[in-house]
Protein backbone atom coordinates (compact mmCIF):
# COMPACT_ATOMS: atom_id res chain seq x y z
CA UNK A 1 0.00 0.00 0.00
CA UNK A 2 1.47 3.34 -0.99
CA UNK A 3 1.91 6.33 1.29
CA UNK A 4 -0.74 8.29 -0.57
CA UNK A 5 -3.31 5.55 -0.10
CA UNK A 6 -2.49 5.30 3.58
CA UNK A 7 -2.90 9.03 4.05
CA UNK A 8 -6.21 9.06 2.21
CA UNK A 9 -7.73 6.26 4.27
CA UNK A 10 -10.02 7.42 7.06
CA UNK A 11 -8.72 6.67 10.55
CA UNK A 12 -9.93 3.28 11.77
CA UNK A 13 -10.45 4.42 15.34
CA UNK A 14 -13.17 6.96 14.55
CA UNK A 15 -15.99 6.72 17.06
CA UNK A 16 -19.53 5.85 16.07
CA UNK A 17 -20.70 9.25 17.23
CA UNK A 18 -18.35 11.02 14.82
CA UNK A 19 -19.50 8.79 11.97
CA UNK A 20 -23.17 9.43 12.80
CA UNK A 21 -22.58 13.19 12.94
CA UNK A 22 -20.86 13.19 9.56
CA UNK A 23 -23.73 11.17 8.06
CA UNK A 24 -26.32 13.58 9.52
CA UNK A 25 -24.42 16.55 8.09
CA UNK A 26 -24.31 14.98 4.64
CA UNK A 27 -28.04 14.12 4.76
CA UNK A 28 -29.20 17.59 5.88
CA UNK A 29 -29.72 19.79 2.80
CA UNK A 30 -27.88 23.07 2.75
CA UNK A 31 -30.06 25.95 3.83
CA UNK A 32 -29.06 28.20 0.98
CA UNK A 33 -31.33 30.53 -0.84
CA UNK A 34 -29.37 30.52 -4.11
CA UNK A 35 -27.44 27.84 -6.02
CA UNK A 36 -24.24 29.88 -5.68
CA UNK A 37 -24.47 29.75 -1.88
CA UNK A 38 -25.20 26.03 -2.05
CA UNK A 39 -22.03 25.53 -4.09
CA UNK A 40 -20.02 27.46 -1.51
CA UNK A 41 -21.29 25.21 1.29
CA UNK A 42 -20.39 21.98 -0.57
CA UNK A 43 -17.82 19.69 1.05
CA UNK A 44 -14.86 21.45 -0.55
CA UNK A 45 -12.73 21.51 2.62
CA UNK A 46 -12.49 17.71 2.63
CA UNK A 47 -11.40 17.64 -1.03
CA UNK A 48 -8.90 20.42 -0.40
CA UNK A 49 -7.64 18.58 2.68
CA UNK A 50 -7.11 15.34 0.78
CA UNK A 51 -5.39 17.25 -2.03
CA UNK A 52 -3.13 18.92 0.49
CA UNK A 53 -2.30 15.55 2.07
CA UNK A 54 -1.52 14.09 -1.32
CA UNK A 55 0.79 16.99 -2.18
CA UNK A 56 2.52 16.65 1.18
CA UNK A 57 2.98 12.91 0.70
CA UNK A 58 4.44 13.52 -2.76
CA UNK A 59 6.89 16.06 -1.34
CA UNK A 60 7.97 13.63 1.37
CA UNK A 61 8.45 10.87 -1.18
CA UNK A 62 10.47 13.15 -3.48
CA UNK A 63 12.68 14.19 -0.55
CA UNK A 64 13.31 10.57 0.44
CA UNK A 65 14.23 9.67 -3.13
CA UNK A 66 16.54 12.69 -3.37
CA UNK A 67 18.36 11.67 -0.18
CA UNK A 68 18.91 8.15 -1.50
CA UNK A 69 20.34 9.45 -4.79
CA UNK A 70 23.12 11.44 -3.14
CA UNK A 71 26.05 9.19 -2.27
CA UNK A 72 27.48 9.79 1.18
CA UNK A 73 30.83 11.53 1.32
CA UNK A 74 33.45 8.79 1.33
CA UNK A 75 36.45 10.99 2.06
CA UNK A 76 37.48 11.26 5.67
CA UNK A 77 40.66 12.72 7.08
CA UNK A 78 40.74 10.10 9.84
CA UNK A 79 40.54 7.29 7.25
CA UNK A 80 43.35 8.89 5.26
CA UNK A 81 45.53 9.15 8.37
CA UNK A 82 44.69 5.53 9.25
CA UNK A 83 45.97 4.43 5.85
CA UNK A 84 49.20 6.39 6.23
CA UNK A 85 49.83 5.07 9.75
CA UNK A 86 49.07 1.51 8.56
CA UNK A 87 51.88 1.82 6.01
CA UNK A 88 54.15 3.02 8.84
CA UNK A 89 53.16 -0.03 10.91
CA UNK A 90 54.20 -2.35 8.10
CA UNK A 91 57.49 -0.52 7.69
CA UNK A 92 58.25 -0.68 11.44
CA UNK A 93 57.41 -4.40 11.56
CA UNK A 94 59.71 -5.09 8.61
CA UNK A 95 62.48 -3.05 10.25
CA UNK A 96 62.02 -5.02 13.51
CA UNK A 97 62.30 -8.26 11.56
CA UNK A 98 65.66 -7.17 10.16
CA UNK A 99 67.13 -6.27 13.58
CA UNK A 100 69.73 -8.82 14.74
CA UNK A 101 69.23 -8.44 18.51
CA UNK A 102 65.97 -9.47 20.21
CA UNK A 103 65.80 -6.53 22.64
CA UNK A 104 65.87 -3.97 19.86
CA UNK A 105 63.34 -5.93 17.80
CA UNK A 106 60.95 -6.05 20.76
CA UNK A 107 61.10 -2.28 21.13
CA UNK A 108 60.28 -1.79 17.45
CA UNK A 109 57.46 -4.34 17.60
CA UNK A 110 56.04 -2.48 20.60
CA UNK A 111 55.98 0.69 18.48
CA UNK A 112 54.25 -1.24 15.70
CA UNK A 113 51.55 -2.37 18.17
CA UNK A 114 51.02 1.18 19.41
CA UNK A 115 50.72 2.48 15.86
CA UNK A 116 48.32 -0.34 14.97
CA UNK A 117 46.08 0.66 17.90
CA UNK A 118 46.18 4.20 16.54
CA UNK A 119 45.02 2.87 13.15
CA UNK A 120 42.09 1.08 14.80
CA UNK A 121 41.12 4.22 16.71
CA UNK A 122 41.25 6.34 13.56
CA UNK A 123 39.07 3.88 11.64
CA UNK A 124 36.48 3.83 14.43
CA UNK A 125 36.45 7.63 14.40
CA UNK A 126 35.89 7.55 10.65
CA UNK A 127 32.86 5.27 11.01
CA UNK A 128 31.21 7.43 13.68
CA UNK A 129 30.88 10.45 11.37
Nearest to 74 by CA among 87, 66, 65, 83: 83
Q: Give the number of other Cβ atoms within 10 Å of residue 26's Cβ.
A: 9
The domain locations on the chain are 3-69, 77-127
Q: What is the pLDDT along the chain (129 residues), one digit of tens a residue?
A: 566 655 555 555 445 555 555 555 555 444 445 555 555 555 566 777 888 899 999 999 998 888 877 666 677 899 999 999 999 999 999 999 998 898 999 999 999 999 999 999 999 998 886
Q: What is the DSSP annotation of 18-50? A: HHHHHHHHHHSPP--SSHHHHHHTSSHHHHHHH
The whole-number pLDDT of residue 30 equals 47
Alpha carbon distance 39, 30 (integer Å) = 9
Note whether 76 and 123 are within 8 A (CB): no
CA distances from 50 to 16, 43, 47, 85 (A): 22, 12, 5, 59
Question: Considering the entire predicted model, what is its pTM?
Answer: 0.45
> What is the sign of the dihedral through the CA atoms of 44, 46, 50 and 52?
positive
The whole-number pLDDT of residue 5 equals 59
The whole-number pLDDT of residue 65 equals 87
Note whether 78 and 21 are within 8 A (CB): no
Amino acid sequence: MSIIQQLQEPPAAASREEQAMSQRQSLVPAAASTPAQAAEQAPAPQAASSRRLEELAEQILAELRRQREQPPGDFSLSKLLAGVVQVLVLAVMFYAYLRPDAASAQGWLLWAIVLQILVIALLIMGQQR
